[in-house]
Chain A
Amino acid sequence: MSLLEVSNVESGYGDVLVLHGVDLTVEDGEMVSVIGPNGAGKSTLLKTVAGLLEARTGTVEFAGEDITDTPAEEIIYHGICYVPQTTNIFGNLTVIENLKMGAWALEDAAFEDRVERVYERFPVLEDRPNQRAETMSGGQQQMLAMGAALMLDPDLLILDEPSAGLAPRLIDDVFEKIRDINDSGTAVLMVEQNARRALREADRGVVLELGQDRFEGTGEELLDSEEIAELYLGS
């Protein structure tokens, strides 16, 4: 049984259907990258898993439980944490307040312990607990977004374009952190514009096009495939 199992999901916004039957699995502790051209439905897929969008048909199962119709505010209690591409921190809140909200679903007593572990992973946050989040740099904000998401120690971390808008040096930092998080046992499902990089990092890659999953394989397989290189990796 897979950790996450998305079967034949159709989803979209209002009258517009974006996903036309997508299948996707993530195994325990695995890192999966979803790549594909703009408008392929990558973000829509993540939002549907995270409960922000409703699946019209199909099912989403997590750890053997059907979470297809679970609303966004309950998803986190199943052990999934989702980091959106835009607005993934509360800009008007301080760093520590953001981490507190990351731990909303947690008993108060466990907070100190968790926050220490997040600080260990993201020392940049420890230096500025009372800074207003929106006054931090883009890289720091991305670290805060991931740190807040890790407060609950999720089984699956979902990341939408974690490297978007960051300088190359910071992109390395972010991918290093993601690698690190994955190595400690958290499964990662990530969407990336930076397809080559995402495939190199991931255990497995899935190519999404026009709302359907087209190809699937290990990161290396997809990187080596001429067809995929030509169509999706822009070379």
Chain B
Amino acid sequence: MAGFDPQFVMAAFDPQFLWNGLVVGSIIAVAALGLTLIFGILNFINIAYGDYMAVGAYFAFAANTQYDLPIVVAALIGMVVMAVGALVVDKLVFERFRSRSAIVLLVVSIGVAFVLRNLIRIVWGTGSRRFSGPIEAAPQFFGIRVLPDQVAIVVISVAILGGTYLLLRRTRIGIAMRAASDDTDLARIRGIDTERLVTYVWLVGGAIAGIAGILLGLDAQIRPNMGFTALIPIFAAVILGGIGDPIGAVAGGYAIGITQELSVVVIPTEYKPAIGLLLLIIGLLSKPEGIFGEATR
């Protein structure tokens, strides 16, 4: 470890990389929030979640470029389609397996993932796409390149995270979601119709997956496997935050995004995705109950 160059350390905290990290972290945080909400109540790991993100992005893409709708309207359409879509997939597939073990549901969700991804390939082809709009030269602020799309990603993420926080903290149905995520039997004893809650959770989780996919498509490109390849950092954020803990998942998302982008100073860019896994391993070894979790019982 000799010869640690101070210039090198400075470079690691280059504001440009921090900004990029904040953008990527925002996307991971939103995606992780939706995934952890679904897990909290349904108690299974939904591998198809990444493809929900892709479906949301493709519907927004279609509305935006094929029907010439403004990107904001297109994004809303993508979210609504995926909210309803997540519910439909549940009714058609997952609901039938709900009484089975989490492993059965996990394997079933891998099947759903393949089906969705290949439906995308059939409808929109295998190539990569972009939302409409000029590719602009990035304006500079204090020496940092800041793309308008990046600003949009950060702002929309904060809005989604804030909105979900209010839903979970301030509304009756949101508190009930957290209650059912804590203990389904006790929620039923309280008179909460947990089956109806599951419906709301799919709607909210699906909408969040949709917007996360759209933000991902805004930052990079829209590809059929865009969501699937994004799953590792998202899962890492969820697990790092303590599975089922929304605030933990968001914190985990930002932590992984920022670390991942800062890492390019030290390691080759191709290894960037490994950072999520590395943080996950470190997290599981040092604090298995999650960032904010307390060692219980």
Contacts and interface: CB of A to CB of B under 8 A. Distances in A.
B185 A52 contact: yes
A164 interface: no
B249 to A, nearest CB: 14
B70 to A, nearest CB: 39
Contact of B186 (A90, A105, A134, A135): A90
B190 interface: yes
A63 interface: no
A50 B182 contact: no
A84 B189 contact: yes
Interface in A70-97: 71-77, 81-82, 84, 87-93, 97
A73 B191 contact: yes
A102 interface: yes
Contacts of B182: 87, 90-93
Contacts of B193: 73
B192 A93 contact: no
Given A84-B185, A87-B186, A134-B296, A105 B179 contact: no
A104 B175 CA distance: 10
B189 A72 contact: yes
Contacts of B245: 92
B178 A104 contact: no
- How big is chain B's contact interface, by range? 20 to 34
A134 B294 CA distance: 10
Nearest to B175: A97
Given A84-B185, A87-B183, A90-B182, A76 B172 contact: no
Interface in B127-184: 172, 175-176, 178-179, 181-183
A76 B189 CA distance: 7
- Interface on chain B toward A: helix, strand, loop, or mixed SS? helix
A100 B188 contact: no
A3 interface: no
Contact of A101 (B185, B187, B296): B187
A134 B191 CA distance: 22
A154 to B, nearest CB: 11
B288 to A, nearest CB: 17
A104 B296 contact: no
Given A72-B185, A87-B186, A93 B179 contact: yes
A220 to B, nearest CB: 33
A160 B18 CA distance: 54
A52 B194 CA distance: 13
A52 B186 CA distance: 10
Given A73-B194, A87-B183, A50 B178 contact: no
A82 B189 contact: yes
Given A90-B179, A93-B179, A101-B175, A76 B185 contact: no
24 contacts: A50-B189, A52-B188, A52-B189, A72-B185, A75-B191, A76-B190, A76-B191, A87-B183, A87-B186, A88-B186, A90-B179, A91-B182, A93-B178, A93-B179, A93-B182, A97-B179, A101-B176, A101-B179, A104-B176, A104-B191, A105-B190, A134-B294, A135-B294, A148-B190
Interface of B: 172, 175-176, 178-179, 181-183, 185-194, 245, 294, 296
Given A72-B185, A76-B191, A92-B178, 10 more contacts: A51-B188, A52-B188, A71-B188, A73-B193, A77-B191, A88-B186, A93-B179, A101-B190, A102-B190, A108-B172
